[in-house]
Every structure is written in C-alpha cells, then in structure tokens.
Structure 1
C-alpha cells in the first residue's frame, strides 16, 4: 500500500485553504500514486474568532470541503483521509475527520474526543473546547 500525506499551513481563509489542499493533493497523486492520501487536521480552516470558525463549519455531507474530498477520492480511485474539518450538527460543532473509499463513499467518521486546551508558559491560552464539542467514544 502506498500512502501520501499532505502538509499545509492553513489559515482563516477557507477558500484559499481548499484551493491549496486541492493543488497539493493533485501533486501528491501525480508524484506518488498513493492508495491512501491523508490531509492534516483542520486543513480547511484554522484561526479566526469563534464566530468565524462556526461560520466555516459544514453540515455533512452537504459542505464544500466534504464534497471536494468525496469527489477527489472517486475521481482518483483512492482512499482519502480528510484530516479534520469543523462540522456543524444542528446547533453543535465538532472537529471531525472523515475517510472516503475509492468510490467516494464515506466509510468512517470520527469526532475528536480529546480536545486541545493549553496555557503556554507566557500565559496565552488556546481552548479548542471553547468552540467545538467532544465526540463520543
């Protein structure tokens, strides 16, 4: 099995992130011919305010990033691990990863359980749990 990973520096510009992800995925497929391609966590959007993160969230399977990944997996006949994206489920938000098979079917979904909350030595805090809920085991 050939595996390729995409590394990228995502920002609070979802359209630019999706365009960059698409370019890097195309390059990985052309160079590596993987059976499985994996994207990084929060590849579609990171940073910004709580409200901006919530606006970037998608209802699966109708969201733009979800649809892009599904179609990419189908078109290139590969398994695709969609890093993670902000998912909206009703009024709740999650940091969710999705896996697609070679036909573009969703075969796995995981909502992150162990969220990243930290206070750095200089006193700055980052609390993922402030804007997404924990998944269930």
Structure 2
C-alpha cells in the first residue's frame, strides 16, 4: 500500500461485543476483553463501531458527550496506559458541539474513531465519512445521515508498526477512500463495524 512496509510482525486483536444502550456496562465488558487480548499478547487492540452505546433518536442525542467529557473514552485511555497497549476505538458516538469548525446549529453527532497509544494519548481521530442511507422495498428506509454528520477527510496515523489508514463501516463501499489512504502512505487499514 504505502511507500514503506509494516516495520515488523505484530499481534493485533479485534474484540467483539454487542454494545447496549448504557456506556458503563459497555466499558466494563470492553475492559475485560481488552485485558484478555493483552494477556494473549496483543499489541494493538481494536473495538467495534459505536462501542460506547447504541441508541436511537433523542436518547442517542441525550447520551452523547463531547470528546473531553466522554467517560468511555477516558476509561479507554486509562486502560491503554494500564495495559501498555495501543487501542483503536472502532468508533464512539460523540457530540461535536463547540469543536473548531463545528456548525453551531448542527444537531447531528459524530461517529468518531480514536487511535490511542500505550501512554493513553490520542494519536488520531477519524470521523466516518460515508453514512449508510438506504431505501428498502415496501417503503422502509434508514438514514444514518439524519443522526451523524460526515467527517471531512482521510486520516493516516503513525504507529510503531507502520502507518494506519482509518475508516469506519460503510466507508468500505467507497474504493476512492482506500485509494486516497494508499496514496497517503497507509501500510495497513482498519475498518471497524457494528
């Protein structure tokens, strides 16, 4: 992909769980799974999309926190420090209000992935670009774009093993994004999903 290759073999783990509507039990479950992955030798541990909670409508909006105030993100950062591992948070439901460039009237949330280093620092953030909007037979439709605003661009992050191209879920349907990540020097890719 990129101009360089992954620097060395490394152990990665994709933890699987189904997030519920409450962040606290989700964080407890993810914490146990991350510790198990670390104990099995993982150096980079990845969680699914919307790891903090899955909720709809007004309840989703009410539960969303700004990045600096999100207890799930704070817990994951502490866990990265404790375990000495890098953690790719597949994504969290984040309230982007007040962030630089945020539209003050925007009600939609961000579906944001975070790359956390072994010291608990946020190395990179990526907001999902492509929203899953579909019309089904019988008049049923789903509009992720009603709840989430799209991200603004590609993200390639430096890791100890090479450059990681960050994407989320439905982004996988858009080859131009992966071409852009390769052209930006990504050595490997992450595509967390629900």
Q: Same fold, TM exceeding 0.5?
A: yes
1:59 to partner: Cα distance: 1.1
Per the alignment, residue 16 of structure 2 pairs with 7
Structure 2: any 5+ residue segments left out of the alignment? 1-9, 98-103, 154-194
Bigger Rg, which one? 2
Q: Which structure 1 residue ranges, 4+ long, deviate > 4 Å from structure 2?
A: none
1:119 to partner: Cα distance: 2.9
Question: Between Structure 1 and Structure 2, how many residues are aligned?
Answer: 135
1:23 to partner: Cα distance: 1.7
More displaced 10-residue stretch of structure 1: 7-16 or 75-84: 7-16
Label 1:12 to 1:124 Cα distance change in 2 as closer, same or farther (>3 A). Answer: farther
Q: 1:27 aligns with which of 33, 36, 58?
A: 36
CA-atom RMSD, angstroms? 1.6
Aligned pairs for 1:32-43 (under 5 A) are: 32-43=40-51
Q: 2:122 aligns with which of 72, 95, 106?
A: 106
Aligned pairs for 1:76-91 (under 5 A) are: 76-90=83-97
- Normalising by structure 2, report the TM-score: 0.65
* 3-state SS of 2:69 partner: coil
More displaced 10-residue stretch of structure 1: 35-44 or 89-98: 89-98
Separation in structure 2 between the aligned mates of residue 118 and residue 128 of structure 1, nearest angstrom: 9
Structure 1: any 5+ residue segments left out of the alignment? none
* 3-state SS of 1:82 partner: strand
